[in-house]
Amino acid sequence: MIDMKHLAILGAGPGGYVAAIRAAQLGARVTVIENQALGGVCLNWGCIPSKALLSVVELGDKAKKAKDFGLLLQGTVSYDPAVMVARKNKVVSTLVKGIATLFKTWNIEHVEGRGELVDARTIRVAKPDGTTIQVAADGVIIATGSSWPNLPLFPIDGTQVITSKQALDLASVPASLLIVGGGVEGCEFASLYSGLGTQVTLVELVPRVLPLEDDEISQMMERELKKRGVDIRTGVTVENIVRQPDAVTAHLRDGFSLNVEQVLVSVGRGFNSRGIGLEQAGVQVGARGEILVNERMETNIPGVYAIGDVVGKAMLAHVASQQGKVAVENFMGQRRSIDYDVIPTGIFTLPEIGRVGLTEQQARDRCVANGQDPQQGVKVGRFRYGGLGKAQATGDIQGLVKVVADGTSDRILGVHILGAHATDLIHEAALAMHAGATVSRVAEMIHAHPTLAEGLMEAMEDVHGHAIHLARKPPSS
């Protein structure tokens, strides 16, 4: 009988559970240690539950426009938070059970409890019943993820001052809500709660919301949020908050004050690298607390790998999953590295945002750094949803497809989409970039009509001034 390599995985989020299944597929014996729920934050308190709730608001938005389409509905659109949360919980439960089933079919051992490295090959597990066991393995993958930060300025009480975890389980809709942080999470919750009828105020320290996105897309999203009634205050921060029995008073640094029912703190996450025995195993961490890894996802200790949010790269569920596959294949004797150049990102605001590659400003900055003229080195193509037959037919006319290209090689540098189904559409651009297709090659591909994907074709054509459904631009004088 051939001895199977034994892999222990600390954490069962989108990195850990995917790594476990891939390891089992490759013939390893796998033990997964998880002290919370299978699927981690993404499945239980992040990606999936927030999208389940947002889908209800999106449906409500369509119902409010039904009369314009000739669909007559009686009464007004209202929301039942209890039913919404119950449905969300059912979606999550179904997916968690799905992971458990996958573990069972692949003979993956799931140990419930809090794991801590004793050394580079041994994990001590404190189980819920108070007992302790040790798991010895040939290799270890650390996939402990990240968590909500504990900021002295915003003491989380779970009632008046909350994180996204509590925001997904509210029994009633607050009349007013202050969201601190205008990044991805903050803008998603602004879309959700403004849709439910809450008066939302969004505060962001830097001059614009979604500061990591393309400037043009960020400005469009700010306009869309304002249309939903969101009061956006950028370039300012919260000086302090004062909790009262029935409200929270927030004082901003610009002198503005407001009273709200609740404050949602959405200002980043911290690495779950403490208290898991990294010191005993000799695993090195960076200045921010992130676990340091190479391109093979291996730490400084051979046979010990780390993946997901805890390594501080692109903190996205799908990146964690890919890192897990890479780590496992290296553990199993293969040679594989990870490429961060083409990572599609989805932002589930209303409307959605899809993005891959460089922003226009990043592309121009790179030109300058390389001694090139950014006006010649970067070309941009745009096409608005309003020019698409499918968008007009479905009423989804608010949106933009933007392509950033290399002016010399015709290489696609980045694609940014704001509009209906943007998070799905972006994958055509990601595949094109991954395969090395040029702007012209994508533009030449026949796209089905009528579809929203035609917007990508038209934007690619616009890079060279050939978009069919764009009015002719007057010649420059």
Give CA–CA dist 470/462, Å, rounded: 8
245, 265, 285: which is the final residue of a domain?
265
140 and 278 assigned to the same domain: yes
Sign of CA dihedral 64, 69, 72, 73: negative
The CA distances from residue 349 to 32, 200, 219, 428, in Å, are 34, 14, 14, 20
Joined tokens for residue 38: 């299978």
Q: Is residue 201 part of a domain?
A: yes
> H/E/C letters for each residue in 153-181?
CCCCCCCCEECHHHHCCCCCCCCEEEEEC
Q: Is residue 342 part of a domain?
A: no
51 and 92 assigned to the same domain: yes
Number of separate domains in the chain: 3
215 and 298 assigned to the same domain: no
Give CA–CA dist 405/350, Å, rounded: 27
397 and 418 assigned to the same domain: yes
User: DSSP of 354-419, one letter per residue?
Assistant: EEEE--HHHHHHHHHHTT--HHHHEEEEEEEGGG-HHHHHHT----EEEEEEETTT-BEEEEEEES
Q: Is residue 153 part of a domain?
A: no
371 and 439 assigned to the same domain: yes
Low-confidence residues of the chain, pLDDT below 70?
Answer: 1-3, 476-477
pLDDT at 143: 98
130 and 67 assigned to the same domain: yes
Q: Is residue 213 part of a domain?
A: yes
Phi, psi for residue 208 in degrees, rounded to 5: -150, 155
CATH number, residue 276: 3.50.50.60
Phi, psi for residue 166 in degrees, rounded to 5: -75, -30
pLDDT at 476: 61
pLDDT at 69: 96
Give CA–CA dist 119/70, Å, rounded: 67
15 and 62 assigned to the same domain: yes
Joined tokens for residue 73: 């509905």
62 and 79 assigned to the same domain: yes
pLDDT at 150: 79
The CA distances from residue 144 to 124, 148, 281, 306, 368, in Å, are 15, 13, 15, 9, 39
Q: Is residue 154 part of a domain?
A: no
pLDDT at 339: 87
Residue 377, C-beta contacts closer than 8 angstroms, at least 6 positions apart? 363, 364, 367, 370, 406, 407, 408
Residue 372, C-beta contacts closer than 8 angstroms, at least 6 positions apart? none
* Sheet containing 109-112: order of strands: 109-112, 29-34, 6-10, 139-142, 304-306
183 and 294 assigned to the same domain: no
Q: Is residue 297 part of a domain?
A: yes
225, 249, 265: which is the final residue of a domain?
265
Residue 113 lies in domain: 6-147+271-331
Positions annotated as catalytic residues are 449
Joined tokens for residue 361: 């400003």
52 and 94 assigned to the same domain: yes
Q: Is residue 227 part of a domain?
A: yes
140 and 13 assigned to the same domain: yes
Q: Is residue 170 part of a domain?
A: yes
235 and 327 assigned to the same domain: no
